[in-house]
Amino acid sequence: MQLIINELHDEERALYGLRQASLEHCTFAGPADGESALKETADLEIDNCNFELRYPLWHTKQTVIVNSRMSETCRAALWYDQGIDILNCQLNGIKAMRECTDMRIVSCNINSSEFGWFCQNIELKDCQLQSEYPFLQSAEIAIQGLHMTAKYSFQYVHNVTIHNSVLDTKDAFWHSKMLQFLTAL
């Protein structure tokens, strides 16, 4: 496995197509303002990295992201991804996750006005979510210990289980099917 440590990348498609690599303490930011740093990648371990540029992880597969930060300028960070574990991270910026499958998000702070659109098989556990319009047309969602503040949440979703969570939202669950809410006694 290739090891990439303490590197700064700001160029367009900096590590495009990277496979079987570990990235530690890397930063994706800078004056070149490049997009799509880790597009079309697979089998990565990303630890303690900072993402400030747009579209960093598109079409990424089988990757683990831990203790990392996607800033407010990290627009559309996770799109078309499959099999991603995100642990103890900060996900900021508009459209943080879209059209992804098999995503596991644990102990993360998320601030994204359009989060989790058109996704399949999402697990969120012990997360904080601030959003305006989360989970539009997503399916197979398992949520446990979520504290969410949102406006128009869970529209057109199906097969959703929400366990021991706080949902501070208004227009929610429009046109949704197969919902289950569980609370521990």
Helix (H, G, I), strand (E, B) or coil at 46: strand
With contact defined as beta carbons under 8 Å apart, do 124 and 147 qualify? no
pLDDT tens digits in sequence order for the chain, 185 residues long: 999 999 999 999 999 999 999 999 999 999 999 999 999 999 999 999 999 999 999 999 999 999 999 999 999 999 999 999 999 999 999 999 999 999 999 999 999 999 999 999 999 999 999 999 999 999 999 999 999 999 999 999 999 999 999 999 988 999 999 888 877 54
Per-residue exposure over 3-41, b if at least 16 CB sit within 10 Å of its own CB, e if not = ebeeeebbeeebbeebeebebbebbbbeeeebbbbbbeb
With contact defined as beta carbons under 8 Å apart, do 110 and 89 qualify? no
| Secondary structure letter of residue 115 according to DSSP | E
Query: What whole-number distance in Å separates Cα of residue 91 and Cα of residue 112?
Result: 7
Q: How far is CA 8 from CA 21, 33, 72, 91, in A?
A: 16, 12, 18, 20
- Residue 19, both tokens: 């496979």
Alpha helices in 21-172 (DSSP H): none
